[in-house]
Chains A and B, each alone.
Chain A
Amino acid sequence: MLKLMINGEPESIDASPDTPLLWVLRDHLHLTGTKYGCGINLCGACTVHVDGAPVRSCGLPVASVVDQSIETIEHLARDGKYTAVQQAWLDADVAQCGYCQSGQIMAATALLRQVSSPSNQQIDAAMNGHICRCGTYQKIREAIHHASKLIEQGGQA
């Protein structure tokens, strides 16, 4: 059994140690908000936070994260409130199909927790690895700038 710390809760998982974290989250814990897109670290749909850093979970063997703190999209909205990033995503009406948005939001959240008022270049660098096929990029940029304002007003990234 592998012992993991996911969204602040200890979990025991009966999975082969080479299983990527993505499939442990999805198939063993039924945390399906984290998505499969490419399986080879190219699209960012599977992005979660490991010890606060945005990480692709599709290529990350679960055995390598047993001692680390893992946070998924399901853990963002808490205490009856969306995070500033989620709120900004809703305000800017970002999502179309929505499939890539968990990964986009996790990436933007990591960025805004580091840099609360990022420049366009910093946004490019943080988001360029995250594919959307519906064409929400323009609204994602708007939402990140808007989230930045919400944080300035006291919101949590």
Chain B
Amino acid sequence: MNPSSLHPNRRSFLKSTGLLTAGSLLVGFEIPLMGQPRLPATASGLMADAFIRIDVNNTITLMMNHAEFGNGVYTSLAMMVAEELDFDWQTLKWEAAPTEAQYFSPIFGEYLTAGSVSTAGALKPMREAGAKTRQLLLTAASRLWDADIRSLSTSAGQVHHADGRSIFDGDLSDMSRDHDLKPPKSVQLKDPSEFTVLGRPQRRLEGPEKVTGEAQFGIDVRRPGMVYGAVLRPPVYGSLVKTFDAEAALKIPGVIKVKAIDAGVVVLAKDYWTATKGVKVLKVDWDDNGLGDLSTAGFTEEYRALSRQPGLLAENIGDAEKTIQAAESSLESVYEMPYLAHATMEPMNCTAQVSPDRCEIWVGTQYQSNDRTIVARLLGLPEEQVIIHRTLMGGTFGRRASKTADFVTDAVQAAQGESVPVQIIWSREEDMRGGHYRPLFVHRVRGSLDDAGYPEAWHQTVVGQSIMQKTKHDPAYLVRGIDIYSVDGCLQEPFGVFPYGTSYQIPNHRVESHNPPKIGVRPHEWRAVGHTHTGIAYECFLDELAHKGGKDPLALRLQLTRDHPRMHHVLTTLETVSGWASPLAEGRGRGLAARIYSVSPIAQAVEVTVNANGEFSVDRVICVVDCGFAVNPLGIESQIQGGVMLGLNAVAYGAIDLVAGQVQQSNFHDYRPLRFQQMPKVEVHIIESDAPSTGVGEQATTPIAPAVANALFNATGQRVRQFPLDRHGFVLKA
């Protein structure tokens, strides 16, 4: 059903109910519609700006140059444009912008949505796009009415004359085009005090299609004549096909073809189920490429040993070594974090159609400029002949920014030589064993206290595979051979392109890094990247030092952040809103952690209840975040709840194990997701600020893990240093 049939004329309805006020839509429960009428986008529409197309039916379409995977970026971009354009933002239409340089991220210089920087990067250009388009429309109206532009105003998608005349924006598009009017080169933006859209809680732009089943994810793409492909991938990631026997598969009615591609052996069929049946009866002889001996147990042993050796020096403030040696008492702990899978709800998939001179791709991707480059190279085509249609994504957590375009190239290779489009879907098992993981890390941390019981020296040695080494990102992300992602979150000072430190001041601070060989599965970004392991080691060990020095863990952090006003304020706020000082009953515990990721300070306190068997529940999570000016507080709340859930899930259960080179986990029974009734109540407090907007997409993922481990210690006196928790004595209550 087309949602436009729900309300063919939404605007008149809103007017008649008086819900449109001064450019802002008051959304209440009595409004029976939030549908996005899917009016056909006309090629004749006026491109007022690279981002904004105006059609005569008063449809305004935004070219979205960031990927929407639940992050809420389409909503934020629409709000930014609509604020300055004076257009009812929820009626804006959207299209995924094509892979053209004008749409690349100003921060990355690539078409990439990552790093929790979309809002920071887009706020100014998108507001300007809206403001310039508004000026263009005012100019057009002044021509049309032969009126002084100063007598004109705008609201809710119309231009008004002081004499009472009004005209819809869309009705000015012909005028603008016929007279070849151009938007101004520079424009005055609104003062924040005039905002009616930005800074207010707004519901998701593409929410309506997500409740009707109409939202188009990559896996939902249907093209004329399309066939479906399933792939038999090797048990040992990185293996190559030596030979295969397709005889049994080809006997299954509906199986069309069987062929080898780089990723394995693909079966093409009339539907996906038939393709998977073909895969089940394939016989393949693999060359495991010498990777059949790898194991996570082996990696862990090796990394523990390495953590005792001097590594590459990432930071050296004061003299941590001497201070620890001279201290009357010191502490040393080893923290171990496993590989983690992203396990997006929508497994990897891609649809491709390949002809001799052109390739068309439909895919949910965070990184389409890279996908295009890799496919163009693979096919020997000019980049502009590789057309990517980006869809919505059923989650990513980093997985859909593939440096190798792995989930794109297998569809492209499967479609090579075929006259029809091919859709490749990864089964859940393939997706789980798909070889891209948050890398396994071992951290050895040593520390000592001053006479007053505060940390005086800190020495952390970080061991784990580099994500960026041997990739095209090497020059920007490796500093003196150190992957800045490996140590992000345990340095006091800014490092490489990351302009922030921990916010803590410890007078002697030394961090070393080892990048063990990149073999076997691929280390990959996972929501919050380095902080997912550095955060645990740092915040738990800080808790250990607090305990040793007889300090309250929050008071200790307040002391260490005296020179960081934003984090200090976040912590004092947390102290108040969490009721930190209030007593807890027997069997309950409280813990916290405070992190800066991608500039935004965030702190979380949690309350847990633990029984004698180590079974625990997380009763309450209180989160305080300072992300500068909060563009959409409702979207931020969702990102925080989501980050907390993913981080709690990982610390409670998350682990990918390799035995004899093979990933042991396969589906949601052995890589357990957090379930509905395990979700703690998350209270979100956003610090009011007019500082530049910074990220919230990844920030909430990391404090939760150490905060829970610290709360378990607070409740039981038992310190967990190896994760996930369920393998080390603490099981989250089902």
Tell yes or no: B449 within 8 A of A by CB. no
Contact of B206 among A32, A45, A98 (CB under 8 A): A98
Tell yes or no: A115 within 8 A of B by CB. no
CB pair B676 A127 closer than 8 Å? yes
Q: What are 24 A-B interface contacts by the 8 Å CB criterion?
A: A16-B254, A16-B273, A19-B274, A26-B272, A27-B270, A33-B212, A35-B346, A39-B428, A74-B212, A77-B3, A77-B211, A80-B6, A89-B207, A89-B211, A93-B634, A95-B210, A97-B395, A98-B207, A98-B209, A102-B213, A133-B344, A135-B641, A135-B646, A139-B641
Identify which of residues 387-435 in chain B touch chain A, using a CB-to-CB cut-off of 8 Å. 392-397, 425, 427-428
Identify which of residues 120-136 in chain A touch chain B, using a CB-to-CB cut-off of 8 Å. 124, 127-136
Known: A15-B271, A19-B271. A82 touches B32 (CB 8 A): yes
CB pair B211 A97 closer than 8 Å? no
> Which residue of A is nearest B29, CB measured?
A91
Chain B neighbourhood of A86, CB < 8 A: 211-212
Tell yes or no: B7 within 8 A of A by CB. yes
CB pair B345 A97 closer than 8 Å? yes
> Which residue of B is nearest A72, CB measured?
B213
B421 to chain A, nearest CB (A): 13
B95 to chain A, nearest CB (A): 18
> Which residue of A is nearest B344, CB measured?
A133
Tell yes or no: B5 within 8 A of A by CB. yes
User: In the bound complex, what is the Cα–Cα distance between A15 and B27 (angstroms)?
Assistant: 45
One of B484-492, B657-665, B677-685 at the interface: B677-685
Excluding A15-B273, A95-B211, A134-B395, 15 further A-B contacts by CB distance (< 8 Å) are A27-B273, A32-B222, A35-B217, A43-B345, A81-B6, A96-B642, A97-B346, A98-B394, A101-B210, A127-B677, A135-B645, A135-B679, A139-B638, A146-B29, A150-B29
Chain A neighbourhood of B208, CB < 8 A: 90
CB pair A99 B345 closer than 8 Å? yes
CB pair B213 A42 closer than 8 Å? no
CB pair B29 A133 closer than 8 Å? no
Identify which of residues 42-64 in chain A touch chain B, using a CB-to-CB cut-off of 8 Å. 42-43, 45
Which 3 A-B pairs give the minimum distances between C-beta atoms? A33-B213, A99-B394, A135-B645
Chain B neighbourhood of A82, CB < 8 A: 6, 32-33, 211-212
- Give the contact-size bracket for chain A: 35 or more
CB pair B681 A138 closer than 8 Å? yes
User: In the bound complex, what is the Cα–Cα distance between A97 and B273 (angstroms)?
Assistant: 25
CB pair B638 A74 closer than 8 Å? no
Known: A16-B254, A86-B212, A134-B642. A27 touches B634 (CB 8 A): no
Chain B neighbourhood of A137, CB < 8 A: 645, 674, 676, 679
Known: A82-B32, A138-B681. A42 touches B667 (CB 8 A): yes
Tell yes or no: B215 within 8 A of A by CB. yes
Known: A73-B212, A97-B392, A99-B395. A35 touches B638 (CB 8 A): no
Per-position contact with B for A131-157: 1 when CB-CB < 8 Å, else 0?
Answer: 111111111110000100010000000
Secondary structure of the B contact surface, majority rule: loop
B715 to chain A, nearest CB (A): 23
Contact of A140 among B5, B643, B676 (CB under 8 A): B676
Tell yes or no: A34 within 8 A of B by CB. yes
Tell yes or no: B219 within 8 A of A by CB. yes
B360 to chain A, nearest CB (A): 19
Chain A neighbourhood of B272, CB < 8 A: 23, 26-27, 36
Tell yes or no: B356 within 8 A of A by CB. no
Chain B neighbourhood of A112, CB < 8 A: none
> Which residue of B is nearest A98, CB measured?
B210
Tell yes or no: A76 within 8 A of B by CB. yes
Chain A neighbourhood of B70, CB < 8 A: 95-98, 134
Interface residues of A (CB under 8 A from B): 15-16, 19-20, 23, 26-28, 30-40, 42-43, 45, 72-74, 76-78, 80-82, 86-87, 89-91, 93, 95-102, 105, 124, 127-141, 146, 150
CB pair A74 B1 closer than 8 Å? yes
CB pair B668 A131 closer than 8 Å? yes
User: In the bound complex, what is the Cα–Cα distance between A128 and B646 (angstroms)?
Assistant: 16
Chain B neighbourhood of A20, CB < 8 A: 273
CB pair A16 B274 closer than 8 Å? yes
B144 to chain A, nearest CB (A): 36
User: In the bound complex, what is the Cα–Cα distance between A45 and B394 (angstroms)?
Assistant: 11
B157 to chain A, nearest CB (A): 22
Tell yes or no: B673 within 8 A of A by CB. yes
Chain B neighbourhood of A141, CB < 8 A: 676
User: In the bound complex, what is the Cα–Cα distance between A129 and B271 (angstroms)?
Assistant: 27
Contact of A135 among B220, B347, B427, B642 (CB under 8 A): B642
Identify which of residues 4-51 in chain B touch chain A, using a CB-to-CB cut-off of 8 Å. 5-7, 27, 29, 32-34
Tell yes or no: B228 within 8 A of A by CB. yes
> Which residue of A is nearest B734, CB measured?
A128
Tell yes or no: B343 within 8 A of A by CB. yes
Chain A neighbourhood of B209, CB < 8 A: 98
Chain B neighbourhood of A36, CB < 8 A: 219, 272, 347, 425
Chain B neighbourhood of A34, CB < 8 A: 213
Chain B neighbourhood of A42, CB < 8 A: 667-669
Chain B neighbourhood of A99, CB < 8 A: 217, 344-346, 394-395
Known: A30-B222, A36-B347. A124 touches B676 (CB 8 A): yes
User: In the bound complex, what is the Cα–Cα distance between A99 and B660 (angstroms)?
Assistant: 34
CB pair A97 B393 closer than 8 Å? yes
CB pair B675 A76 closer than 8 Å? no
> Which residue of B is nearest A39, CB measured?
B428
User: In the bound complex, what is the Cα–Cα distance between A99 and B211 (angstroms)?
Assistant: 10
B665 to chain A, nearest CB (A): 13
User: In the bound complex, what is the Cα–Cα distance between A81 and B271 (angstroms)?
Assistant: 33
Identify which of residues 626-673 in chain B touch chain A, using a CB-to-CB cut-off of 8 Å. 634, 638, 641-646, 649, 667-669, 673
Chain A neighbourhood of B638, CB < 8 A: 93, 96, 134-136, 139
> Which residue of A is nearest B220, CB measured?
A32
Tell yes or no: B204 within 8 A of A by CB. yes
User: In the bound complex, what is the Cα–Cα distance between A100 and B209 (angstroms)?
Assistant: 13
Tell yes or no: B148 within 8 A of A by CB. no
User: In the bound complex, what is the Cα–Cα distance between A144 and B146 (angstroms)?
Assistant: 55
